[in-house]
Amino acid sequence: MSKPDSKASQAPVETAKRQVQNYIYRYGKEGWWPYAPGQTASTEATAWCALSLSEKDPLRLKALDYLVRSQNQDGGWPTGPAEGKSDWCTGPALFALRTVAESHPSKQATAAYEKGAAFLSELPTELYNLAARMLLGAVQGVKETEESARGWPWSRGCYHWVEPTSYNLYAFKIPERTRYKGGFNQMILRANKFLLENTCSVGGWNHGSHFSLGTNLPPYIVTTAEALLALQDFSDHKEIGRAFDFLDANSEAAEAGQKNSAMGLAWMTLAYHAYGRDTAKTLTKLISIQKEDGSFGPNMMVTALASMALNTTDAVNPFKMKTGNGKPGSKTGDSKTESDTGNSKSHSDKEPA
Amino acid sequence: MDHKKNYPCKYSAMKHAQQSAVPQTSSQVSDSTTSEHKIKRRDFLVSAAGAVTAVALGGCGGPKLNVDLQEATPAQLARKKQGRSTVGILPCPSYEEDIFKAVKPFLKSLDLPDLTNKTVVIKPNMVEFHPISPITTNPAAILAAVELANYLGAREIIIGEGPGHMRDTEFLLEASGIGAMCKKHKLRYVDLNLDDLEKVENVDGFTKMKEIYLPKTIMEADAVISVPKMKTHHWVGMTASMKNLFGTVPGRKYGWPKNILHINGIPHSILDLVHMIKPQIGFVDGIIAMEGDGPIMGTAKPMGFMVLGSDLAAVDATCARTMEIPIERLLYLRMAGKVIGNTDESQIDIKGEQIASVKKEFEMPITYQDKKLMVQANKGAG
C-alpha cells in the first residue's frame, strides 16, 4: 500500500519508522541480530531484520555476508551459529539472502542460494517409504502420487506445516519464481497444493490441518497472513478470498485480541499490502502499540516485521511478488499455469493464467 | 496439544489410497464395461493393490504416540526416586481465593525441597488460547507458585514458557492474563521458544535423540517448578506436570509445534525431558480442569483443588486418580512409575483432601474411547 492509500497519519508513521529503524540498527551492528537484546545470533531474526533495512543500507550487505558465512555445509541454516543440524530457519535465511543479493549480487550469494535451494528440495515431508510410494502409485496413479500435497517440516523427518511451507515458498516464489537451476516446479506445486488443501472451514489457516477428530480447527491470524503471502500467485482462488474474510473479521472485532499483537498486525499489514488491500486500520493499531524504545516488544523478529509493515507506506514490501501489473496472480507477468496447484478442478474457482 | 492436526496429509493420503481401491463414480464403472470379467479382474487387482498398500502404509513408520515403549534398561530403572512420596490435594474452590494462603498450611507436610538462594523457573502451560476453553494455567495459580517459591527461599524467580502451537507469544501473554500478572508483580518472563540454547546429551534416553537443544534459562536454573493445567489429552490420555515439560523445548530449533517430540514418541519424550530437566516440584492447577477433547478443544471441569508434590510421577498419578483415569491406561505414567518416581497408590501419602472425596469421572477424548482411532493414532495415521 502506497502513501495515498493509507489513512494512517503520515507524521506518526514517519516517526514510528525512524524509531524502529534506530532500534534495529542498535542491535545489529555486526550484521546479525538476536531474538532479544543480549542474546546470541539468530538466523531467523537476522533474516527478517536484513529485509527490514532499505535496499541501499550497507548493513544489509553485512547481513548478507553473515548469512553466507553461517550456512551449513549441507546448504541449510541452523537456528544460530553452531546450533546443530540445519532446520526450518533455512527458509527465512534463503529468502533474505535471495532478496538482499538482488541489490548486492555476488558469486558467493548465488552459490549460497543454490546450495540452500538444493537443501530445501531434499527436505519436503515424505510420508511413506519408497516401497509404500510405489504401491500407492500403482493404486492411484504415479502422477497423482508424485503430485500429492506436500509441504515442508520444521525439522527433517517430521510432518509438514503451514509456517515452514510458507517461509520456503517465499524463498522460491518471491519476488518471482526462482530461475536458479534445480527444477523446483513440482516441489512448489505440491507445496501450493498443501496450503490450498488445508484451509479451515471458516477460511484461513491453522498451523497444520483444518480438521481434527471430528472437530473443525480454528484459523490463526499469523498463519493465515503467512500463507496468504506465499500464495499471491493465486489471488483469484476462492481460498484467498475466504482467508481475507477471516482476517477482515478479526481486524474489525475488538474482542479477538490477536489483532492487537504486533506480530499479528505486522503480518496482516504485509499480507494486505501485498494484495493491494487497505492497510490503514492495521497500521494505525500497529503504531499505537510501539514501545518507547522504538521496538514492538521483546522479540526482534516481531520488531523487524513491524518495521517492514511500516515501510509499506513507501510502497516497499519485500514479501510482494512481482506480477506485472501490481495485482498478485494477475495474467500480466505471471508465468504460472493451472498445474501449479496440481489440481485445477477441485481446488480453484478460477485458476491463475 | 492437538496432535490430530499434526498428521493431516498422512491421514488423507491413507484414506485416499483406500478409497482409490474401488471405482468412485458410476462413470468410472461404465468406462470399463466392455467385459464383466475384465471389470472384476481389474477391480480385484486394484483392490488387492489397495489392501497391500494399506498394509504397507500402516507399517511404513510414523510417530510413536503410545506404542513401542520398551522395557526400561537397568540404567533407566536406576534413576527412580527411592522411598515414599507425599502429594497434597489442596482445596481451593476458585481463582478468586488466595490460593497460596489455602495451600500454605499443608506445606510443611509435603517434603518440598529447600530453594534457599536458588534461581527458580516456574513453567506454566500457555500452549494456545481460546476464550472459552481452560487451556492455559490460570495466572492466579502461577502467582501461587511464585509465592511458594518465595516461601521456599528462592533468590530469583523467572516465569518461563515456550508455547507449543502459536508463535505469537505476546498475544498469548495478553489473552491468557499471564502477561498482566507478570507485569503487576514485576516478574521476569522468558520466552523459552526463543531463548539462547544449550546442547544437552540425552543419556540412556527412551527416544533416539542423542542430544536435544534446550533453553539456557532452563538448564542454568537451580530448580524448575512445573505448573500445568490438569487436562485430558487425546493422544496420551492425560497431561499434567510431566507432559507440561514439552513447553521447554525451543521452537526456534524445533518449530511450532515441537513435532520432533511426536515423531520420537510422546511417552518417550516425556520421560526423557523429565530426566534431562529434573524438575523439583509439580504444582498442578486443578481448580478448573479440562475434560473431553483435551488438551485444546475440551471443556471446563471444576475440581476445586491444586495438586502439589516434589515427585512428579506421584503428582501426576494422583491427578489421574482424581480424574478416575486408570494408571494402566496411561503408558508414560506407567513407565514413569518405574523410572521416575512413585505411581503406586500404596507408596504415596496424600495430604489435604483424600482422592475418594474429590475424584470425578472425566469425559475422555474420543481417541481414548474409540479403539480404532487410537490404533490409527498409534500408527501416526490420525
Report DSSP letters for A57-94, one per residue.
Answer: -HHHHHHHHHHHHT--TTS---SSTT-SS--TTHHHHH
Q: Check residue B328 and give its pLDDT.
A: 93
Length of chain A: 353
Q: Between A162-173 and A107-121, two packed helices, what is the crossing angle to 10 degrees? A: 140
DSSP string of B110-161? TTPPP-TT-EEEEEE--S---TTS--SPPHHHHHHHHHHHHHTT-SEEEEEE
Distance from CA of B143 to the nearest CA of A (A): 22
B177 touches B139 (CB < 8 A) = yes
pLDDT of B270 higher than 60: yes
Q: Check residue B23 and give its pLDDT.
A: 27
Q: What confidence category does residue A123 fall into, taking pLDDT thresholds of 50, 70 and 90?
A: confident
Calpha distance A61→A104 (Å, rounded): 7
Phi and psi, residue A76, nearest 5°: -95, 180
Q: Is B281 helix (H, G, I), strand (E, B) or coil?
A: strand
Q: What confidence category does residue A181 fall into, taking pLDDT thresholds of 50, 70 and 90?
A: low
Weakest mean pLDDT among A237-241, B38-42, B125-129, B339-343: B38-42
Residues 6+ apart with CB under 8 A from B338: B72, B76, B77, B80
User: Does B165 lie at the interface with A, CB-CB under 8 angstroms?
Assistant: yes
pLDDT of B15 higher than 90: no
Determine whether the interchain pair B56/A132 forms a contact, defined as Cβ–Cβ distance below 8 Å. yes
Calpha distance A76→A112 (Å, rounded): 9
Average pLDDT rounded to a whole number, residues A13-23: 97
pLDDT of B379 higher than 60: no
Nearest Cα to B311, choosing from B99, B117, B85, B126? B85
Q: Check residue A252 and give its pLDDT.
A: 67
- Single pTM value for the model: 0.86
Strands (E), chain A: 33-34, 41-42, 211-212, 215-216
User: Does B161 lie at the interface with A, CB-CB under 8 angstroms?
Assistant: no
How far is the CA of A314 from the CAs of A4, A37, A272, in angstroms? 10, 28, 14
Quick one: which H or E segment has residue A135?
helix A130-140
What residue in B sits closest to A206 (Cα-Cα)?
Answer: B5
Count of C-beta atoms within a 10 Å radius of residue B290: 24
Calpha distance A352→A192 (Å, rounded): 13
Average pLDDT rounded to a whole number, residues B11-24: 30
User: Does A211 lie at the interface with B, CB-CB under 8 angstroms?
Assistant: yes
Going A299 to A301 to A302 to A304, the CA torsion angle's sign is: positive
How far is the CA of B185 from the CAs of A296, B143, B144, B159, B194, in angstroms? 22, 9, 12, 11, 23
Calpha distance A18→A13 (Å, rounded): 9
Phi and psi, residue B127, nearest 5°: -60, -40
Distance from CA of B340 to the nearest CA of A (A): 28
Cβ-based contacts of A205 with chain B (< 8 Å): none
Residues 6+ apart with CB under 8 A from B74: none
Residue B191 carries which DSSP code?
E
Helices (H), chain B: 8-19, 26-30, 36-58, 74-77, 99-103, 139-151, 169-176, 178-184, 216-220, 251-254, 259-263, 266-277, 312-322, 331-339, 355-358, 366-369, 371-378
Distance from CA of B74 to the nearest CA of A (A): 30
A141: left (phi over 0), alpha (psi -120 to 50) or beta: left
Average pLDDT rounded to a whole number, residues B53-70: 52
B197 touches A83 (CB < 8 A) = yes
Q: Quickly tell me which residue has 517434603 as its cell.
A: B111
Q: Check residue A142 and give its pLDDT.
A: 62
Cβ-based contacts of A164 with chain B (< 8 Å): 255
Q: What confidence category does residue B10 fall into, taking pLDDT thresholds of 50, 70 and 90?
A: very low
Q: Residue type for B135, please?
A: I
Q: Which candidate in B53, B260, B376 is best for mutational testing of the A interface (most A CBs within 10 A)? A: B53
- Of A139, A264, A298, Cβ closest to residue B50: A139
Query: What ipTM goes with this model?
Result: 0.88
Q: What confidence category does residue B40 fall into, taking pLDDT thresholds of 50, 70 and 90?
A: very low
Q: Which of the pair, B174 or A338, is modelled with greater confidence?
A: B174
Phi and psi, residue B236, nearest 5°: -115, 10
Percent pLDDT > 90 in chain A is 66
Q: Residue type for B357, please?
A: S
Count of C-beta atoms within a 10 Å radius of residue B25: 8
Determine whether the interchain pair B191/A220 forms a contact, defined as Cβ–Cβ distance below 8 Å. no
pLDDT of A112 higher than 50: yes
Weakest mean pLDDT among A256-270, A307-321, B129-143, B235-249: A256-270
Indicate the burial class of B370 (C-beta count within 10 angstroms; 0-12, 13-18, 19 or more).
Answer: middle
Average pLDDT rounded to a whole number, residues A252-277: 82
B6: left (phi over 0), alpha (psi -120 to 50) or beta: alpha
Number of helices and strands in chain B (H, E): 17, 12
User: Does B366 lie at the interface with A, CB-CB under 8 angstroms?
Assistant: yes
Residues 6+ apart with CB under 8 A from A211: A201, A217, B5, B8
pLDDT of A353 higher than 70: no
Between residues 57 and 116 of chain B, which touch chain A (CB distance below 8 Å)?
57, 60-61
Percent pLDDT > 70 in chain A is 78
Calpha distance A194→B142 (Å, rounded): 39
Residues 6+ apart with CB under 8 A from B8: A159, A160, A198, A208, A209, A210, A211
Calpha distance A219→A203 (Å, rounded): 7
Query: Distance of alpha carbon B273 from its chain centroid, rounded?
Result: 11
Residue A275 carries which DSSP code?
T
A79 touches A63 (CB < 8 A) = no
Q: Check residue A1 and give its pLDDT.
A: 40
Calpha distance A309→A273 (Å, rounded): 8
Phi and psi, residue A60, nearest 5°: -60, -40
CA dihedral B371, B18, A152, A237 (to 10 degrees): -110
User: Does A212 lie at the interface with B, CB-CB under 8 angstroms?
Assistant: yes
**Residue A189, all three cell numbers:** 506445486
pLDDT (tens digit per residue) in A211-242 = 876 778 889 999 999 999 999 999 999 999 99
Q: What confidence category does residue B277 fall into, taking pLDDT thresholds of 50, 70 and 90?
A: very high
Q: Which of the pair, A144 or A82, is modelled with greater confidence?
A: A82
Calpha distance A45→A22 (Å, rounded): 16
Weakest mean pLDDT among A337-351, B211-225, B260-274, B367-381: A337-351
Determine whether the interchain pair B174/A257 forms a contact, defined as Cβ–Cβ distance below 8 Å. yes
Determine whether the interchain pair A139/B49 forms a contact, defined as Cβ–Cβ distance below 8 Å. yes
Q: Between B8-19 and B36-58, two packed helices, what is the crossing angle to 10 degrees? A: 160
pLDDT of B364 higher than 90: yes
Calpha distance B163→A330 (Å, rounded): 38
Nearest Cα to B322, choosing from B89, B125, B38? B89
Between residues 271 and 300 of chain B, which touch chain A (CB distance below 8 Å)?
293, 297
User: Does A139 lie at the interface with B, CB-CB under 8 angstroms?
Assistant: yes
- Of B13, B196, B213, Cβ closest to residue A84: B213
Calpha distance A22→A156 (Å, rounded): 37
Percent pLDDT > 90 in chain B is 74
Cβ-based contacts of B60 with chain A (< 8 Å): 127-129, 131-132
